[in-house]
Structure 1
């Protein structure tokens, strides 16, 4: 007997985008590693890939996430080594 039951039916209004099947699903039909979500609406879930691309671009161009000193210290180690 399993300690935890696998939740096969989502809550009403939970929407996911399945990466494996490339489609919007209501409730968690596929495993968590294969989906984005939950989203509040079907429309939001349908734009999951666009949202991910936009967020990735924001992260890649955000100066807070890219240390300007990284170019100077390519060899690694502490400052002053």
Structure 2
């Protein structure tokens, strides 16, 4: 007996955006690696790519993700940082 059963039928009201087919689908029709969701409405799912672009932009401009110059982690593997004493 399998430990995990593959769900073949989605629940009504679960909406996904299929990256492979670039379509909105109710219930998971395509494999998980090829979809975003679940979303609460068809409308939300239809804007999945726009939402992803907005979130990516927020993360790319978030100063918490670009603080390498402050504290540990600075200079790891960079030229002239003294990271590897064998490199001298």
Give the TM-score range, shorter chain.
0.7 to 0.9
CA distance in 1, matches of 2:21, 2:49: 13
CA–CA distance in 1 between the matches of 2:32 and 2:69? Answer: 37
Q: Report what 1:56 is aligned to.
A: 56
Rg (Cα) greater in structure: 2
Over aligned residue pairs, what C-alpha RMSD do you find? Answer: 2.3
Partner of 1:32: 32
Structure 2 residues without counterparts, runs of 5 or longer: 84-88
Quote the Cα distance in structure 1 between the aligned partners of 2:82 and 2:18. Answer: 48
What corresponds to 1:73 in structure 2? 75
Unaligned runs of 5+ in 1: none
Matches for 1:18-29 after TM superposition, within 5 Å: 18-29=18-29
Residue deviations 1:4-46 (CA, integer Å, cap 9, x gap): 3210111110000000000000000000000000000000000
- Give the 4+ runs in structure 1 shifted more than 6 A: none
